[in-house]
Structure formats: structure tokens, C-alpha cells
Amino acid sequence: MRMFRRPRKLLLLVLMGALLATDIADASNHGASARAAADTAWRASSAGGAQRLQPSAEEDAIAVHGRKRKKRSRAKPISWVALQQRYPGSFVIWGPRRYRKVALTFDDVPDPRYTPQVLEVLARHKVKATFFVVGQRAAAHPALVRRMVNEGHIIGNHSLNHPVFSRISLYAMQQQILRTDWTLRTLTGYSPRYVRPPYGEIMPAQVEWLRSRGYTVVNWDVDSEDWRSLDSQTILINIKRTLQPGSIILQHAGGGTGQDLSGTIAALPKLIKLLRSKGYDIVTLPELLGRPAGRKLQ
């Protein structure tokens, strides 16, 4: 017994070092300092009222299991543009540039504090959007998911409890997707095709599995950075910075206890007016990408 313990400790240390090293590599890739801050904000949500967002012991086990397996097979981080080139139609960060269309996407829903307000603004302006739903939040607030669908919006899969996919195993990611898929299928009547990985982070092997199951991974090329609890003016400036035909715009309609999305709600009518004044058609992801909201079940 003893003989095995020390090497195990050593191995753990080496593995932790490897994890840290890859985190730094990720940072240079997708600006993970922002991801880390967003992650902290997300985790703050679990500490407050949204207890269901805390991973269960079973999910923790999945995550730990994933970390253990990760070390052996961890691939190098890859840029989103490279992923989009490698998996055309299956990993997407923008739509066709030749049409003056853009898609609004809202992550981390449903959240009773903010999602109804976003839905009200969208209804008032007759805009349809795409909502990336967290499975555990959907289970906690099913009526809000049904409302999104009834009001003509598109639902996508944003994992079960918002882990960083690049830090969990392929198996753990599959469980995150499939369990959320089951919840959403029950609520909406279809299996959402569109998947957005939390923080946009995903590994090639994970994209490949999703592709093989008929999912389309969708990140974004316009980041409002609204999760930082920004005022509406700053949110609009952020959006205008990289906006162009075909853009997929990231915003949030749900957040943690420390997050204030009132800036998002205040910005939304202005954003819609701005986009329309520039001649943009505001569409859903199926309309932008020409692929239906649901995937074929296999």
C-alpha cells in the first residue's frame, strides 16, 4: 500500500501542474482571463438562491473523473477560427457575410429575474432570438422555457450546469449535453440542434462527437460582454465594435446572484433600433445558418 501512495501523490502534483499549464495556454487562446472572471461570476450564482445549479455529488464525480482522464489525451488549444475551418457547418462563429442578417443569442437562461424582461422587449419589437438554456435552470423554471418556445424563439443547449468543457472529459461533456437534451426535448418537443459550450470553450474531440450526433456548435463573433454588469451604453459600444453582416451576437438573459443584467435589458430596444437603422434583418440561428432548430434523433 505504502509503496503506491507516494507515487500517486507525485502523479497528482504532476497532473495539477499540467492542468495549470494548459489553463495558461487557454488564456492566450480565447482570452481566458475573461472566462475566469465569468466563471467566478457564474459560480457566485451557485452560492446564492440558485442552489440547483450546484453540481450534485454525482456530477462532481463526473467532473473529477473527467479531469483524471483528461491528462492523457489533452489536445492543444485551438482557435475558434481554426475550428470553424476544420468543422465547416458544425462549429460556427458567424453566418454568411453576404446577407445583411444578424442573430441575437442569449445565454444562461432561464432566469426569472431577467428572462421575462428580455422576452417582453423582444415581443414588443417583434424580434425572434435564440436562447441557450442551462439544463438545471430549465428543470427549475420549465414554464419560462415553454414561454420562449411559445413566443417563437429558438432553444439551444448550453449544458446541464455550466462546466468548462475543455476541462472535462468527452464522456462528462456527453452527459452534460444528453441530460440537457432530454429535459429540453420534454419541454419543447424537439431536440435542439444548436449547442453553445459554456464560455465558448470546447475541444476538437468534443466538437467531433457533437457533429456525429447532428449538433451544431455555435459561438459568436460579437461579444457584448454584458455579463460584466455593464451599462447599456457600454454594451452597445461593445456590440458595434465587431458587428457586421452575418454576425452572431452574444448577450445574457440569465446570470448569477452577483450579476446585474439591467444594462442588457436597457440596451436591447436601442440595439434593435440601431440594427434596423443599419438595414440589418434580426433573425434566429436557423434562419441565419439555414439549418433547422431541431436535430434528427439517432
Bridge partners, 252 (sequence order): 107
Q: Look up residue 197 and give its amino acid.
A: P
d(CA 225, CA 37): 11
Pick between residue 94 and residue 199 the one whose CB is nearest to Zn ion.
Answer: 199
> b or e along 38-52 (b: 16 or more beta carbons within 10 Å of the residue's beta carbon)?
bbebbeebbeeebee
* Binding-residue pattern over the window 56 to 95 for Zn ion, x denoting contact by CB under 5 A: ----------------------------------------
Residue 79: count of CB within 10 angstroms of its CB: 11
* N residues, the chain: 298
Minimum Å gap between C-beta 181 and Zn ion is: 17
Pick between residue 101 and residue 115 the one whose CB is nearest to Zn ion.
Answer: 115
Catalytic annotation on 39?
A: no
Footprint of Zn ion on 101-140 (CB under 5 A): 107-108
d(CA 109, CA 198): 12
Q: Look up residue 251 and give its amino acid.
A: Q
Catalytic residue selected from 26, 30, 107, 181: 107
Minimum Å gap between C-beta 196 and Zn ion is: 7
Which stretch in 138-146, 176-184, 197-205, 280-288 sits in contact with Zn ion by CB under 5 A?
197-205
Residue 198 binds Zn ion, judged by CB under 5 A: yes
Minimum Å gap between C-beta 255 and Zn ion is: 9
Minimum Å gap between C-beta 132 and Zn ion is: 7
Pick between residue 107 and residue 111 the one whose CB is nearest to Zn ion.
Answer: 107
Pick between residue 135 and residue 294 the one whose CB is nearest to Zn ion.
Answer: 135
DSSP class of 228: G
Catalytic annotation on 107?
A: yes
Minimum Å gap between C-beta 13 and Zn ion is: 31
Pick between residue 42 and residue 280 the one whose CB is nearest to Zn ion.
Answer: 42
* Extended beta strands in the chain, E state: 91-92, 101-109, 130-133, 154-157, 194-195, 216-218, 222-223, 248-252, 281-283
Q: Are 146 and 139 in contact (CB under 8 A)?
A: no
Residues catalogued as catalytic: 107, 252
Q: Which residues bind Zn ion (CB under 5 A)?
A: 107-108, 198
